[in-house]
A and B are shown apart, each in its own frame.
Chain A
Amino acid sequence: MSGVNFLEFILIAVVLLLVGVPLFSKFPPRRLFAPLDMETEEYKHLLVRKEEILLAIKEVEFDLKTDKMSDDDFQIVRKKLEDEALSVMERIDQLEKELKKKPASGSADIA
């Protein structure tokens, strides 16, 4: 066997070993992907929204301080953001309660 053929053989062996080992390993039965749960997705999305709204409130305060916004507009925008934040937080709490009641998804074990 020439040097190059030997290296090619090693390459095949390494690749086969790497992709093959999991195929011959035993994994406890589990679900790879839980079906898309709209409530879960909404919950994750709202957690981020909440952060974004809180950041936006800070930002409008900064805009007021740097004279980009009038007091009147500031009050309108801030009120709107606070209302949005409140409704998002209420919905998050509501979703948390509902999700805790749900059985745990199989996808948890992977990763």
Chain B
Amino acid sequence: MNELGEFALMMALATALYGIAGYVMAIRQNRVDLYFSADRTPLIVWGCVMVSSVALWKAFITDDFSLQYVWAYSNRDLDIFYKISSFWGGQKGSLLFWTLLLTTYMMVVHVQNRKRDLRVVPIAMVVMLVITLFFLFLLNFSTKPFEVIPVPPEDGRGLNPLLQNYWMVIHPPTLYLGYVGFTVPFAFAVAALLTRNLDDGWIRMTRKWTLISWFFLCMGNLFGAQWAYVELGWGGYWAWDPVENAAFMPLMVATAYLHSVMIQEKKDMMKVWNMALILLTYVMTIFGTFITRSGLIQSVHTFDEATLGYFFLAFLGVIVLFCVGLILKRLPLLKSKNELDSFLSRESSFLFNNLVLLGIAFATFWGTIFPIISEAVRGVKITVGPPFYNQVNVPIGLVLLALIGIGPIIAWRRATWSNLKKNFAKPVLAGVVGGAVLFPMVPLTDKAEILSYVAFVLCIFVMATILIEFWKGAAARQSLHQESVPASYSNLVWKNKRRYGGYIVHIGVVFIFAGIAGSQAYSVDIEKHLKIGEKITLGGYDLTLEKVIWIKANETKERLIAQLAVEKDGVRIWTGKPEKEFYKGQNQPVSEVDLRSTLKEDLYLILADYRGEQFDPVTNTMATISDGEATIKAHVMPMVAWIWMGGWTIALGTVVAAWPDRAEARRRLERLKRMEGVFAPAQQE
């Protein structure tokens, strides 16, 4: 099966090459036979990559340690769940997984569009095949997942314990679905540029793909934060690590695109800007991949392989030059005749939001590459840490938060000052009242606390604007269509899914801002060495060390658990069990935090250090060590759960916004029907 997997990758490479050549020759020479032959290659390439992936999964599940990759990332005792996720645990497998997702997207897009616009779709397929070819080249000649060990070892090295966490099973596929998904709008944008089909047809074709990719990228970032929070044990969820930044930057650019593209759809303007944004989003995903896979930057997330970095750098360079050249060449065709009706309009607020989002992306980009530049220029590697990002991005983020509130109040095309003032009154009042209520409740002793307070006030303002939008919209429906109150709310959302789905997403973003503000400014922590029966007090909690326990979980893992009684106001409310896990063959133990999470705050416990006897190998069972001691680090972090709640709210909003719109489908059918009288079917959309 391994040989078949390797062979299938070679077949995929050959087929992709044939597909590219076939499409191009068929189009240039008007060869119908060749066109239909090439048109089958996206499906074949996907099939071959799938065969290869199944072969690698089979090797993991059957403990085939003759494969170097399986040996390096699995062992016999590994849970089946993690054997499956070990597939993307290392460089080689994750590249294959990336290629599998890429070809799956390509296959679905091909099937979905095979009867649509003949001019753009095959060129988009060529673009996707070229990108696939790059990854297949790496898999066949540079980063081979089916590399064999001549004498297979008895057991594998095992998966990095940090990756043995359910969030790490979900996080990479989600993030990759986002990263890879942007290949679809990128391919269609390039195809539109190449074929000069520069109306908004390509945008309508890829609207859902863009939204889905954005959603996965957003959730991938949040799942990654959740993994860092529960697994890395440093008491935080985001550290502005270069790899975190790599996933964050395309998210910012894509968010800017999702907003500005609405202006193109509504007003037929900003074509150059939107084209540049979607191309930049893809460039950022490849830049992120380069950062992660080049070995250039050290991080807990990176794969250390310099050779691959050169390939990605070259690929990135080619894409950037190609995109810039293409946009410059098509510039005259991308110019729009329309202009903004008024500076005071939602379009303007979207433009401002674009600048803010790009500002955050650029600041993050600069902070990420500065250590590389400083090392190259001055020979000294200057680390850019969280203080830089917080100093730059927090104020910009607050402006963005304010804009989320201002946007819905302003009318499209032309807003009126007097109405604007009237519409601002209630949300501003809500913000002022909320701020006044919070003022005596929250400490305001340093910059972080003041900024968090501002964030809370803005969150209240934004939430008020969104809720008022729902209320006013429903009231308008009640008077216009004589609908009941529940019907007016459901119809309001259902008949304008994009707008109100977007508002739900904004509510999620407000939750995230509130969660970040609360947890960043008002967290308290303590680290103390405890003997059995000793107590620490933090944030109103009394933590008493009850016992230290050794458990042999299985042949490869032992657990040291510190049990703490958690009391509040003299009442026991929870038993905390932070632990350290010791894996066979790993030098360092891994911390497994324990946390009690409520909407108000998280009590986050880490077993930082320990003292005591080893467990009894004779009984091989749980054994209490009477004289055990442990160093416990405890954090009380307000409102962290709001961040995760925000993520699920974003998910709900995206589902609403992406839900198929019957009215839109009906309009499309009417359009096609009208075209029937003018064109033959294939010339239609």
A-B contact count (CB 8 A): 173
A51 at the interface (CB under 8 A from B): yes
State A18–B637 Cα separation when bound (angstroms).
59
State A4–B423 Cα separation when bound (angstroms).
71
Cβ B26 vs Cβ A19 within 8 A: no
**Which residues from A are CB-within-8-Å of B423?**
67-68
Cβ B414 vs Cβ A19 within 8 A: no
Cβ A19 vs Cβ B473 within 8 A: no
Cβ B40 vs Cβ A22 within 8 A: yes
B196 at the interface (CB under 8 A from A): yes
Cβ A47 vs Cβ B34 within 8 A: no
B110-123 CB mask vs A (1 if < 8 Å, else 0) is: 00001110110000
A59 at the interface (CB under 8 A from B): yes
B160-202 CB mask vs A (1 if < 8 Å, else 0) is: 0000000000000000000000000000000000011101110
B64 to chain A, nearest CB (A): 13
B280 to chain A, nearest CB (A): 25
Binds A, one of B7-15, B71-79, B134-142: B7-15
CB proximity to A under 8 Å, residues B352-408: none
State A96–B44 Cα separation when bound (angstroms).
41
Cβ A107 vs Cβ B683 within 8 A: yes
State A11–B30 Cα separation when bound (angstroms).
29
Given the interface contacts A22-B33, A65-B476, A65-B479, does A109 sit within 8 Å of B199 by beta carbon?
Answer: no
A37-64 CB mask vs B (1 if < 8 Å, else 0) is: 0001101110111011000100110110
**Which residues from A are CB-within-8-Å of B411?**
60, 63, 68-69, 73
CB proximity to A under 8 Å, residues B453-504: 469, 472-473, 475-476, 479-480
Cβ B683 vs Cβ A105 within 8 A: yes
Cβ A62 vs Cβ B409 within 8 A: no
**Which residues from B are CB-within-8-Å of A23?**
33-34, 37
State A44–B682 Cα separation when bound (angstroms).
13
Cβ B671 vs Cβ A19 within 8 A: no
Cβ B114 vs Cβ A11 within 8 A: no
Cβ A66 vs Cβ B472 within 8 A: yes
Contact partner of A111 among B118, B671, B674, CB < 8 A?
A: B118
State A27–B192 Cα separation when bound (angstroms).
28
Number of interface residues of B (CB under 8 A): 76
**Which residues from A are CB-within-8-Å of B420?**
68
State A4–B148 Cα separation when bound (angstroms).
16
Cβ A19 vs Cβ B27 within 8 A: no
Cβ B418 vs Cβ A31 within 8 A: no
B413 at the interface (CB under 8 A from A): yes
Name the prevailing secondary structure of the B interface residues.
helix
Cβ A11 vs Cβ B473 within 8 A: no
Contact partner of B44 among A15, A24, A43, CB < 8 A?
A: A15
**Which residues from B are CB-within-8-Å of A94?**
none
**Which residues from B are CB-within-8-Å of A49?**
268
Contact partner of B265 among A52, A96, A109, CB < 8 A?
A: A52
Given the interface contacts A44-B685, A56-B413, A110-B32, does A4 sit within 8 Å of B680 by beta carbon?
Answer: no
CB proximity to A under 8 Å, residues B25-82: 26-27, 30-41, 43-44, 48, 51
**Which residues from A are CB-within-8-Å of B472?**
66-67
Name which residue of chain B comes closest to A105, CB basis: B683
Name which residue of chain B comes closest to A20, CB basis: B37
Given the interface contacts A15-B11, A19-B44, A48-B200, does A68 sit within 8 Å of B3 by beta carbon?
Answer: no
State A3–B473 Cα separation when bound (angstroms).
66
B412 at the interface (CB under 8 A from A): yes
A108 at the interface (CB under 8 A from B): yes
Cβ A51 vs Cβ B671 within 8 A: yes
A1-32 CB mask vs B (1 if < 8 Å, else 0) is: 00010011001100100111111110101111
Cβ A4 vs Cβ B48 within 8 A: no
Cβ B30 vs Cβ A31 within 8 A: yes
Cβ B413 vs Cβ A77 within 8 A: yes
Contact partner of B675 among A24, A32, A45, A47, CB < 8 A?
A: A47
Cβ B682 vs Cβ A110 within 8 A: yes
B103 to chain A, nearest CB (A): 14
Given the interface contacts A15-B11, A23-B34, does A77 sit within 8 Å of B197 by beta carbon?
Answer: no
**Which residues from A are CB-within-8-Å of B480?**
65
Given the interface contacts A65-B480, A67-B472, A68-B423, does A41 sit within 8 Å of B266 by beta carbon?
Answer: no
Name which residue of chain B comes closest to A45, CB basis: B199
State A60–B409 Cα separation when bound (angstroms).
13
Cβ A104 vs Cβ B680 within 8 A: yes
Cβ A12 vs Cβ B414 within 8 A: no
Cβ A33 vs Cβ B119 within 8 A: yes
B9 to chain A, nearest CB (A): 11
Cβ B412 vs Cβ A19 within 8 A: no
Cβ B422 vs Cβ A67 within 8 A: yes
B588 at the interface (CB under 8 A from A): no
B519 to chain A, nearest CB (A): 35
State A18–B22 Cα separation when bound (angstroms).
14
**Which residues from B are CB-within-8-Å of A68?**
409-411, 415-416, 419-420, 423
B678 at the interface (CB under 8 A from A): yes
Name which residue of chain A comes closest to B417, CB basis: A70
Cβ A69 vs Cβ B414 within 8 A: yes
Given the interface contacts A8-B3, A33-B118, does A22 sit within 8 Å of B37 by beta carbon?
Answer: yes
Given the interface contacts A40-B683, A77-B341, A77-B414, does A51 sit within 8 Å of B36 by beta carbon?
Answer: no
Name which residue of chain B comes closest to A67, CB basis: B419
The 8 closest A-B pairs by CB, nearest first: A108-B680, A22-B36, A70-B416, A68-B411, A45-B199, A65-B476, A63-B411, A22-B37
What are some 23 contacts across the A-B interface (CB < 8 A)? A8-B7, A11-B4, A11-B51, A18-B44, A19-B37, A23-B34, A23-B37, A32-B35, A33-B27, A44-B201, A48-B201, A48-B671, A56-B266, A65-B476, A68-B410, A70-B418, A73-B411, A77-B413, A77-B414, A96-B677, A107-B118, A107-B682, A110-B32
Residues of A within 8 A of B (CB): 4, 7-8, 11-12, 15, 18-25, 27, 29-34, 36, 40-41, 43-45, 47-49, 51-52, 56, 59-60, 62-63, 65-70, 72-73, 76-77, 80, 96, 99-100, 104-105, 107-111
Additional A-B contact list (20), CB under 8 Å, known A22-B34, A104-B679: A7-B4, A11-B51, A15-B44, A31-B30, A32-B27, A36-B119, A36-B195, A41-B197, A44-B684, A48-B201, A59-B412, A68-B409, A68-B411, A69-B415, A69-B419, A70-B418, A73-B414, A99-B679, A111-B114, A111-B116
